[in-house]
Amino acid sequence: MNHITVPLYRAAHGRTGDKGDRSNISVIAWHPELFALLVEQVTREVVAAQFRHRAPSQVQRFVLPGLQAMNFVLDAVLDGGVNDALNLDAHGKALSFWLLELPIDVPDHLQHLLAGPLPEN
């Protein structure tokens, strides 16, 4: 099956939340038919690798089929959290956009469901 490789933000959107030194990032499919490939490709291991420079002590993934969403919980990635970190973005508010950079493969027949500008042919 032919496919294209696109950044995750073409197939999903998300938001980051924080509590202490723990970040949670939602990944929500733009369309129900895109959800299965997200579950298959955006695994706990892939997400841990994307954040390896932050050395998470644990990465958990929760799958929510009713919402066509996943919730990732990353421990110890905020340099101590909002009161401790020296980051300008001590909450890690921008981290969803780091996760949404992940490359994913989308089969041809699902490409019309992707968000954003149409690919140039």
DSSP secondary structure letter of residue 119: P
Q: Structure tokens of 31?
A: 């369309």
48 touches other proteins (CB under 8 A): no
Tokens of 86: 């020296």
- Smallest separation, CB 89 to other proteins (Å): 4
For residues 2 and 27, which CB has a smaller minimum distance to other proteins in the complex? 27
Which H/E stretch holds residue 97? helix 95-99
Our finding on whether 82 is near other proteins (CB under 8 A) is yes
Please give the residues from 6 up to 25 whose contact with other proteins meets the rule CB under 8 A.
9, 13-15, 17-20, 22, 24
**Sequential DSSP letters for 34-93:** GHHHHHHHS-HHHHHHHTGGG--SEEEEEEEGGGTEEEEEEET-STT-TTT--SSSTT-T
| Cβ proximity to other proteins, 49 vs 67, nearer residue | 67
Residue 53 interacts with other proteins (CB under 8 A)? yes
Residues that bind other proteins (CB under 8 A): 9, 13-15, 17-20, 22, 24, 26, 28, 30, 53-54, 60, 62, 64, 66-67, 69, 71, 73, 79-80, 82-89, 94, 98, 115-117
